[in-house]
Chain A
Amino acid sequence: EAGVTQSPTHLIKTRGQQATLRCSPISGHTSVYWYQQALGLGLQFLLWYDEGEERNRGNFPPRFSGRQFPNYSSELNVNALELEDSALYLCASSSGSGRFQETQYFGPGTRLLVL
């Protein structure tokens, strides 16, 4: 069974540009989560999508946004990039509904570098 996939693996942008990151969940999973892992800050929750809807959002500015498509894949958009947005962006998926016992499985991540 294929795991969570993410693209691209690396992305280099300049300050002020927009970045688009993509994620495909494990087959059969309906929930997708996005996390940011910046150096020295640990893993921070960004967004949770389930059944096409945004269910929860972390403490990030509105320029971080996303969506989930009918096939449950997801896109994370970061507008007006700032230097501190440089980080590893991780996507995770679970079987759905955010029930507390659900396990989240992580993809390989997209490493974003903002120059």
Chain B
Amino acid sequence: QKEVEQNSGPLSVPEGAIASLNCTYSDRVSQSFFWYRQYSGKSPELIMSIYSNGDKEDGRFTAQLNKASQYVSLLIRDSQPSDSATYLCAVTNQGGKLIFGQGTELSVKP
């Protein structure tokens, strides 16, 4: 079992729709959860971080964390073509290292 798993996609949504990205993790002691966006050929950029159960909203983005189910998700409302990228879920507990999922490729069609 991979430590962090994501649907590989590609996930295709029409412009203006809600994109839902999911991530599960295996280590119950994981404490911090991050969503990064990576455009092709570029480095990852942070979108959201979440540390406690529940929802966290930032503009069009909402991160949801359920530690009991070991599940974290990212919702993108009013999706735009510029949101087309690979979204990386990352988890950390200690020791400084981020453990990344394989990423979900999102395509927003105009």
Chain A interface residues (CB < 8 Å from chain B)? 31, 33, 35, 42-45, 48, 50, 55-56, 58, 88, 90, 92, 94, 98, 100-101, 103-109
Contact = CB atoms under 8 A, between A and B. Distances in A.
16 contacts: A31-B96, A33-B96, A35-B98, A42-B101, A43-B44, A43-B90, A43-B100, A45-B97, A45-B98, A55-B96, A90-B43, A98-B96, A100-B93, A101-B32, A104-B46, A105-B46
B49 A33 contact: no
B19 interface: no
B45 interface: yes
Contact of A48 (B34, B96, B101): B96
B80 interface: no
Identify the interface centre among B32, B43, B44, B95: most chain A CB within 10 Å of its CB.
Answer: B43
Interface of B: 31-32, 34, 36, 42-46, 49, 51, 88, 90, 92-103
A100 B94 contact: yes
Identify the interface centre among B93, B94, B95, B101: most chain A CB within 10 Å of its CB.
Answer: B95
Nearest to B94: A100
Contacts of B95: 48, 55-56, 98
